[in-house]
Amino acid sequence: MASTTEVKPPTAVGLAGVTVGDTQVCRVSQTELIYRGYEIADLAQNATFEEVAYLLLVGQKPSAGELKSFKDELASLRRIPDGLKAMLRDIAADPPAAHPMAILRTGVSYLSHFDPDAEDNSPPAGLRKAKRLLAQIPTIIGYGQMVRDGNDPVDPDPTLDHAANLLWCMTGQRAPDLYGRVIDVSLILYAEHDFNASTFAGRVIASTEADMHSSVCGAIGALKGPLHGGANEKAMEMLKEIDAFVQTGGTIEQWMDRAFAEKRKLMGFGHRVYKQGDHRAGILRSLGLKVAEQRGAEFKKWFDIGDRVQQIMLQKKNIRPNVDYPCGPTYYVMGIPVDQYTPIFVASRITGWCAHIMEQHASNRIIRPLASYTGPALRKWQDG
């Protein structure tokens, strides 16, 4: 007689390799990253971030007229309420240790109280909210950074594109055209990545029929972690640590050998899906290197260090960098504070998040997986 013993499948670690739902927004594989049918290298070379944002939120490539209307609408939505400005002054200046991601999370939550569509999960309302968030998040980032620097914040500039306006709000200065292009491409590269941790968190919240702002706040919380969005910050901190070690007479090889011996997790390397390398990394490295070369040897050194670390990782561990690795030195050579790297990620990924949240709301079933219980066997309370 055949055995009827149930054979349980192996427990998935972190849901690795488990498909949990369908989406029309993005496809990620070992060889491709596609936004609604368009491959990432094609978009990075030929599109602007606003075009990609329209593609993700609306679902199609915009015509020239649609793009102009979209950009004009975003520019008109960039200002934030005076009450939010006052709150940002309080939390960005005191305590001074407040992380920009925490500031941004609070800012997005505050915006929900003033959004007329806050509790409306219909598709038209979702799109209106997505546009407001896309337009206002750079203003929150910039306002907070200017306060942290002890400067008077500036109003968003409606004549600038999304990326250039972000830099303007953060510095109060017009950035060189190359800087604007680099940020624009980085926003394209970071805009969407299917069911990553933050997007999945947002979809889980949306699946309870919670509102878009609540879902986005949850996604921001997930992105803040160093194993997700915060990896670009940690990657740059690692390069600075290596540089300091070299300045005291050590070598990159010695630092890496010690890191391997200590089993340190080197941020910016490896990817759950891209086993043969992240398609986005080379695109961003090339652009960042152009900025560094323009600025001189003291800036190019970050890419020299980074390239050597990359070589050692490939030779000794057969692990390749992901997009967070070149992001670190790319933003650094443009003078962007390290702890603002992940908020800039939000200024991009808000498009993907909102596209997924709207998709979840449009065809919803609550996301409620099962767990494999590994605790004690059944017992009686009175026996203990």
39, 152: one domain: yes
Domain CATH code at residue 219: 1.10.580.10
Angle of the 123-148 helix axis to the 49-58 helix axis, nearest 10: 140
Position 174 in a domain: yes
Which residues form the domain of 344?
26-226+338-362
> What pLDDT, on a 0 to 100 scale, did the predictor assign at position 309?
93
Do 164 and 289 share a domain, yes or no? no
Q: Do 52 and 164 have their domain in common?
A: yes
- Which amino acid, one-letter code, is at 66? E
**Average pLDDT value for residue range 5-11:** 47
Predicted confidence at residue 273, as pLDDT, reads 67
pLDDT tens digits for 273-326? 666 778 888 999 999 999 999 999 999 999 999 999 999 999 999 888 888 889
Per the domain annotation, does 222 fall within a domain?
yes
Look at residue 382 and tell me if it is in a domain: no
Do 189 and 318 reside in the same domain of the chain? no
Indicate whether 57 and 196 sit together in one domain.
yes
Q: Residue written as tokens 């979809």?
A: 203
Specify the pairing of strand 33-35 against strand 38-39. Answer: antiparallel
For the chain, strand residue ranges (E) read 26-28, 33-35, 38-39
* Same domain for 167 and 249: no
Do 175 and 278 belong to one domain? no
- On whether both 188 and 128 belong to a single domain, the answer is yes
pLDDT digits (tens, 9 = 90+) for 340-373: 999 999 999 999 999 999 999 999 999 998 888 9
- 349 in the same domain as 329: no
30/117 same-domain check: yes
Look-up of token digits 């695109």:
283
Above 70 in pLDDT, residue 1?
A: no
Percent of the chain with pLDDT over 70: 94
Q: Is residue 377 exposed (0-12), middle (13-18) or buried (19+ Cβ within 10 Å)?
A: exposed
Is residue 120 included in any domain, yes or no? Answer: yes
pLDDT band at 31 (very low <50, low <70, confident <90, very high): confident
User: Is there a single domain that holds both residue 216 and residue 261?
Assistant: no
Residue 367 resides in a domain: no
Same domain, 220 and 273: no
Q: Domain for residue 149, yes or no? A: yes
Could you read off the pLDDT of 56-104 as tens digits, one per residue? 999 999 999 999 999 999 999 999 999 999 999 999 887 666 899 999 9
Counting Cβ atoms within 10 Å, is residue 101 exposed (0-12), middle (13-18) or buried (19+)?
A: buried
> Is 14 inside a domain boundary?
no
Residue 329 has pLDDT above 70, yes or no: yes
Q: Indicate the SS3 state at residue 109.
A: helix
Number of domain units in the chain: 2
Confidence band for 168, pLDDT divided at 50, 70 and 90: very high
pLDDT of residue 231: 86
Q: Is residue 383 part of a domain?
A: no
pLDDT by residue (tens digit) across 213-226? Answer: 999 999 999 999 98
Please identify every residue annotated as catalytic: 228, 271, 324
CATH code, domain carrying 289: 1.10.230.10
